[in-house]
Amino acid sequence: MDALHAFQTLDLRVGRILRAEPHEKARKPSYKLWVDLGPLGVKTSSAQITELYRPEDLIGRLVVCAVNLGTRVIAGFPSEVLVLGARDGAGRVVLLAPEREVPLGEKVF
């Protein structure tokens, strides 16, 4: 599989975080997120983003999610989508997001 085909099989979509709370049972510090993906519905995610973000600051934020990787149960919580980020110079996860408002569920290409 070439790189372009591999990227095209990954379904990346824009969502908005509706709810965020600490994931108390997770081994590593994490948040439980509920992400509105428009026509795809509200999906859950467990995200290790506690170093730079507080739950109340995440509400309403646009994020980019991989939506076709399957569901993983993390410490009893279903993680249906992967919220994408990149590490900064200190190794902390910085969320990826569109630079302006786009429709929820919009495909990233």
Would you say residue 58 lies in a domain?
yes
Would you say residue 106 lies in a domain?
no
pLDDT bin (cut points 50, 70, 90) of residue 1 is low
Q: Are 57 and 24 in contact (CB under 8 A)?
A: no
Would you say residue 46 lies in a domain?
yes
Query: Rounded mean pLDDT of 23-46?
Result: 97
Here the CATH number for the domain that contains residue 54 is 2.40.50.140
Would you say residue 79 lies in a domain?
yes
pTM score: 0.92
* Residue 36 belongs to domain spanning: 12-95
For residue 13, which of 41, 46, 33 has the smallest C-alpha distance?
Answer: 41
Would you say residue 36 lies in a domain?
yes
Distance CA 55, CA 3 (A): 35
pLDDT tens digits, 41-93: 999 999 999 999 999 999 999 999 999 999 999 999 999 999 999 999 999 99
Would you say residue 101 lies in a domain?
no
Would you say residue 1 lies in a domain?
no
**Total count of domains within the chain:** 1
